[in-house]
A = this chain, B = another copy of it.
Amino acid sequence: MNVTGPETGGGIGDPIQHGGNLSRARALFGQALEPWVDLSTGISPHSYPHSPLPGNVFARLPEVASAEKLKALAAGAYGAPSTAHVAAGPGTQILLPMVADLVVGKGRAAVLSPTYAEHARAARLAGFEVLETADLNRLAEADLAVIVNPNNPTGRIVGRDELLALAAIMRGKGGLLVVDEAFMDVSEASSVADAVDAGGLAVLRSFGKFYGMAGLRLGFVISHPETVARIESRLGPWAVSGPALHVANEALGDSQWRQAMRMRLKEDATRLDALLAAAGISVMGGTSLFRFIRDPRAQAIFRHLGEHGILVRRFEERPDDLRIGLPGESDWPRLEEALKTIERAK
């Protein structure tokens, strides 16, 4: 457990370093092979095969009817009780401080850690004193509790019963449990999206990761209808872009693709684990969209792959940790080649 002041490297307002930044990778590894193989995110390499965008999808304001359809499809796909329990916004990221703001009076926030660093930043921004803790029991003491489930980057899963018990505690004192289910699409864990009507609970879902469409910016809050109304009031009209509505209204209605993709990503993850194992690197956890490694050679592995034009995710504050995303179909040989020459553990 550690009670945090500012994030590593600065104050509340300073940006946190994330995966997916190839400019920084190029600055770091000037000599590396182009094009970069970017395995630094948890975004699927298999984008949803949507139909061509209609010509007016950029020109016109997003249609209200299309945005309503999106909410209905999201409620079905994610298991929310109804459309009224779903708010859609331009990416989950921008929703984080809005959700933290829902807790009246603020006070203390607790984030089950280590995890996606933006949760603690958003809570601080919203005026909370933030505890980042690995102890689930400490979360009940807070006014705002945050759990990423399954967790990014470790893959740790918190059970449904524990989550619902914690939500009941939060509800009892006017607090809020936020469960970020950004990687739930590929998980064996149980979503709690169906349980939001009782109150005290907000579930976040991310469209871009599982559907390989992170550039679209689309995320959801699933919560009690009153909470949803407050979020929507803050978002205002036209929060979701025309292209995002077009793609997501096809994708979220396509349960066959979803089912098949879950299988495929599982196979990809197994293939990745096998490659890493052959190079003497053991996977500690993760989800089908990323694998988590805790290894004293982590920095050396990061550099070795970087010198071969392959970017993986390291964590400034935890030098033994790495997260490796799934290669796209044409990127496997590059990874296999690079792993062949990695120095084995002694």
Query: Is A172 engaged at the interface, CB distance under 8 Å to the other chain?
Result: no
Q: Are B15 and A237 in contact (CB under 8 A)?
A: yes
Query: Is A247 engaged at the interface, CB distance under 8 Å to the other chain?
Result: yes
Interface size class of A (residues with CB under 8 A): 35 or more
Given the complex of chains A and B, what is the CA–CA distance between A2 and B292 in angstroms? 60
Pick from B18, B215, B241: contact of A60, CB under 8 Å: B215
Query: Is A22 engaged at the interface, CB distance under 8 Å to the other chain?
Result: yes
Known: A93-B236, A122-B236, A125-B233. A58 touches B216 (CB 8 A): yes
Known: A23-B63, A63-B23, A94-B94. A215 touches B243 (CB 8 A): yes
CB neighbours (8 Å) of A21 from chain B are: 63-64
Known: A38-B60, A121-B236. 19 other contacts (CB 8 A): A12-B233, A15-B237, A43-B61, A58-B243, A60-B214, A61-B214, A61-B215, A62-B217, A90-B91, A90-B94, A91-B238, A94-B239, A118-B236, A118-B237, A125-B233, A125-B234, A215-B241, A241-B243, A241-B244
Sample (22) of A-B pairs whose CB atoms are under 8 Å apart: A13-B229, A16-B237, A19-B61, A20-B63, A23-B64, A43-B61, A57-B215, A58-B216, A59-B215, A60-B214, A61-B214, A61-B215, A62-B215, A62-B217, A90-B91, A91-B238, A91-B239, A93-B237, A93-B239, A215-B243, A217-B242, A241-B244
List the 7 closest pairs (A to B, CB-CB), nearest first.
A215-B242, A90-B90, A20-B61, A23-B65, A93-B236, A13-B233, A217-B241
A residues near B (Cβ < 8 Å) are 12-13, 15-16, 18-24, 38, 41, 43, 45, 47, 56-65, 90-91, 93-94, 96-97, 118, 121-122, 125, 208, 212-217, 229-230, 233-244, 247
